[in-house]
Amino acid sequence: MNAARPSLDRNFLNRFGILIALITLALVLSVTTDSFASASNLTNVARQVSINGILAVAVTFVLLTGGVDLSLGSVVALSGVVCALFAHPGEYPLVVPISMGLITGALCGLLNGVLVTWGGIAPFIVTLGMMTMARGLALIFSSGKPVADMTPALTNLAGDLGPVPIPVLCFAVVALLAWLFLGRFRLGRHLYAVGGNEQAARAAGVSVTKVKLFAYGICGLLTGLAGVVLAARITTGQPNAGQAYELDAIAAVVIGGTSLSGGVGSIRGTILGVLLIGIINNGLDLQGVSSYYQAVIKGLIIVGAVWLDRRQSRS
């Protein structure tokens, strides 16, 4: 069988292309820098990718339905600010600021979902509007100033639990649940069906509206979580935090093989994409590459990774 070999190789590359890129990059960095492969640096990388990781998982849900969410960064800022406002020492128990942040994110996401489904407006436009609105609300709620004076109980959430940083734990739990959900739950399957062929999914009895509302809602909720984690990490609710975070998150998801037109993608791929971007950032800093070159290199790697991926899946 002559035909079998190349197709086997292609499948192999398809499945593991990004993983190979990731391992190669890690190997190169281990050799060229002293510190990359150390346990403390790897923890460090994990901690730094956790926020982008949570956001990438969040936006995977929306991208799978064939939509997009441009409001991630702004909603991160808004939920961070709301969380910080309820987190002054001695005011409320810890659960209040956390749930306020989560609820804020979920509400923003649900509003996106409602406008996309019942409003019939394109996701690009809806979430572009939300991006501006959420940023504005963050500035209003914070009077334009960083909300400081947060209770240590909350800022400790950015610390460690044993050897593992808590943000990394959050990311891991979120990723695990999302993976289970997409692979094992009925609604997860419906998500793929709606993204793959919305009309056919409807004809097969799938409630497209419910599925999309859910996707945007979950995306918002997880974005709220990222906002809380970020606020804990930088010990303030910054109304101007999270600028362009959505682009890093979407880039990670797309690098991980999720199609921007929906229906194709996986949490596993998203995690690999997040790690790739995180290791690039960390590696460039370790190498002492100047900021100007960092920007160029990052852009090239993102476009290159996706180009390779698409070229393989097309052939």
Partner 1 sequence: MRPTPRLAIGSMLAALTIFSLFLPGCKKPAERKEGEILIGFSSRDLSAEYTAKLSEAIVEYAKTKPGVKLVMVDAQSDVQKQFSQVENFVAQKVDAIILNPCELEASTPAVDYVKAAKIPLVLVNQVTKSAGDSYIGSNDFEAGRIAMEAIAKKLNGQGGVLMIHGIMGTSAQLQREAGAREVFAKYPGLKLIDQQTASWDRAKAMALTENWIQAHKGKFQAVFAHNDEMAMGALLALERAGIKKDVTVIGIDAIAQALTAVKEGRLDATVFQDAVGQGRGSVDAALLLARKQPCPKENLIPFQLVTLENLSSFLK
Partner 2 sequence: MLRACQLTKTFGGLSVLQEASIDFHPGEVHALMGENGAGKSTLLKMLAGLYQPNGGSIEWRGQSVRFQSPHDALSQGIAMVHQELMPIPDLNVAENLLLGMEPVNALGWVDRAELHRQAQSWLKQLNTDLDTHQPMRRLSVAQIQVVEIAKALARQADVILMDEPTAALSNHEVTALFSAINTLRQRGVAVVYTTHKMDEVFRLADRISVLRDGQLVCTKAAIEFSPESLIAHMVGRELAQVFPPITTTPGDVILEVRGLTREPSFRDISFTLRRGEVLGLAGLMGAGRTEVVSAVFGLTPATSGEILLQGVPTRITCPAEAIAAGIGMVTEDRKGLGIVPAMSVGHNLTLAALPQFSRSALLDAAAERCATQTATTDFAIKASSPQQAIRELSGGNQQKVLLARALLNRPAILILDEPTRGIDIGAKAEIYALIGRLSAQGTAVLLVSSELPEILSLTHRILVLRQGKLSAELDPRQTNQEEILRHAMPQ
Q: In the complex, which residues of this chain contact partner 1 (CB under 8 A)?
A: 33-36, 38, 40-41, 44, 47-48, 139-140, 142, 144-146, 148, 158-159, 230, 233-236, 238-241, 281-282, 285-286, 288, 290-292
Query: By CB under 8 A, is residue 73 in contact with partner 2?
Result: no
Query: By CB under 8 A, is residue 121 in contact with partner 2?
Result: no
Pick from partner 2, partner 1, none: which does 240 bind, CB < 5 to 8 A by kind? partner 1
Cβ distance 58 to 249 under 8 Å?
A: yes
The stretch near partner 2 (CB under 8 A) out of 9-17, 69-77, 122-130, 204-212 is: 204-212
Element (H, E) at 305: helix 291-314
Q: Which of 230, 227, 217 is nearest to 76 (CA)?
A: 227
Q: Which of 133, 80, 97 is nearest to 241 (CA)?
A: 80
d(CA 312, CA 10): 7
79 to 118: interface string for partner 2, x by CB under 8 A: ----------------------------------------
Query: By CB under 8 A, is residue 186 in contact with partner 2?
Result: yes
Angle at 55 between CA 220 and CA 255, to 5 degrees: 130
Pick from partner 1, partner 2, none: which does 40 bind, CB < 5 to 8 A by kind? partner 1
Least gap, CB of 256 to partner 2 (angstroms): 16
What does the block give as tokens for 182? 């997409």
Rg (CA), the chain: 20
The stretch near partner 2 (CB under 8 A) out of 20-28, 129-137, 193-201, 278-286 is: 193-201
For partner 2, which residue of 185, 243, 303, 307 counts as binding (CB under 8 A)? Answer: 185
DSSP assigned state of 35: S
Exposed/middle/buried for residue 36 (C-beta within 10 Å: 0-12, 13-18, 19+)? buried
Cβ distance 32 to 179 under 8 Å?
A: no
In the bound state with partner 1, the residue whose beta carbon lies nearer, of 199 and 292, is 292
For partner 2, which residue of 41, 43, 197, 312 counts as binding (CB under 8 A)? Answer: 197
For partner 2, which residue of 128, 146, 196, 298 counts as binding (CB under 8 A)? Answer: 196
Binders of partner 2 among residues 239 to 268 (CB under 8 A) are 259, 263-264
Binders of partner 2 among residues 207 to 236 (CB under 8 A) are 207
Least gap, CB of 226 to partner 1 (angstroms): 12
Q: Which of 313, 175, 273 is nearest to 183 (CA)?
A: 175
In the bound state with partner 1, the residue whose beta carbon lies nearer, of 84 and 193, is 84
Query: In a 3-state reduction of DSSP, which class is residue 241?
Result: coil
d(CA 81, CA 94): 15
d(CA 100, CA 24): 42
Query: By CB under 8 A, is residue 203 in contact with partner 2?
Result: yes
